[in-house]
Amino acid sequence: MGNEMFDLTGKVAIVTGAGRGIGRGIALGLADAGADLGLISRTPAEITAVAEEIQGKGGRAETVSVDIADTDRIQETVDAFVDRFGRIDILVNNAGTNIPTDAVDITVEVWNQIMDLNMRALFFLSQAAGKVMMGQDQGGRIINISSIAADSALAKRAAYCASKAGVNLLTRCLALEWAPHNIRVNAVAPTFTVTEMTKKFMKDPSYLDFALKRNLLGRMAEPEDFVGAVVYLASEASSMVTGHILSVDAGWTV
């Protein structure tokens, strides 16, 4: 045993929300581990920049700019990557959104916007990629990016918490059904993380205090802090792990 257990050379990994934040960090980390990357984002300029960074290191990266919340576009997106790479070995469902709102003020529009991306798109992209993996000799790996909010009630985040709790249960359901096809399905649950989406919240001292008060390591997470967990779950190092929610939360949920 050694580093070869974490080697992803020859594998094809698809990452959603890959243009920035946690998704960008994960995409770069998977490329460093040897994988070819398929990058998905609504913003062409962002994933083009990530692709160029990967290519600059000698890796291969292809891009599709699409809003995967539009589930009518999911099959064509998967087909595009299969046409380019010939297979899909790893899917990282990272794209997500959070619209902090008091529970009494959540509208149907806000609720649907969160659920459509965080759960519906995640499920149907997993379904489309899962069908590809079922036809492959080595199956595949699906890794969902969940959150500590799946198990912790957070104010102004009722819809977000519900969506991430749903992600955790979907992870276990898919792991149960797809194990016979050698498809392992797991999730990574990050703690509060410094990203473009959260920087505006962190300007509020009360938010920052709340985020850190149960953090045993005393610092906010950075996107790079989740790379090791994702590479582990994508690699043969975790060959006996499925249906698991791996918390990367600095002890926040203990």
Q: Residue with structure tokens 């919240």?
A: 201
- Provide the annotated active-site residues: 160
Position 202 scores a pLDDT of 74
pLDDT digits (tens, 9 = 90+) for 196-225: 777 777 778 888 888 888 899 999 899 999
Residues 6+ apart with CB under 8 A from 30: 8, 13, 15, 37, 90, 92, 227, 230, 231, 234
Domains and CATH numbers, the chain: 3-248 (3.40.50.720)
In this structure, is the dihedral angle defined by the CA atoms of residues 119, 163, 110 and 44, taken in order, positive or negative? negative
Q: How far apart are CA 114 and CA 69, in angstroms?
A: 9
DSSP string, 72-137: GGHHHHHHHHHHHHS---EEEE---------GGG--HHHHHHHHIIIIIIHHHHHHHHHHHHHTST
Mean pLDDT of 145-153: 95
Token readout for 206 is 């009360």
Asked whether residue 1 carries a pLDDT value surpassing 70, the answer given is no
pTM as predicted: 0.96
The type of residue at 165 is: A
pLDDT digits (tens, 9 = 90+) for 67-116: 999 999 999 999 999 999 999 999 999 999 999 999 999 999 999 999 99
> What's the whole-number average pLDDT of the chain?
95
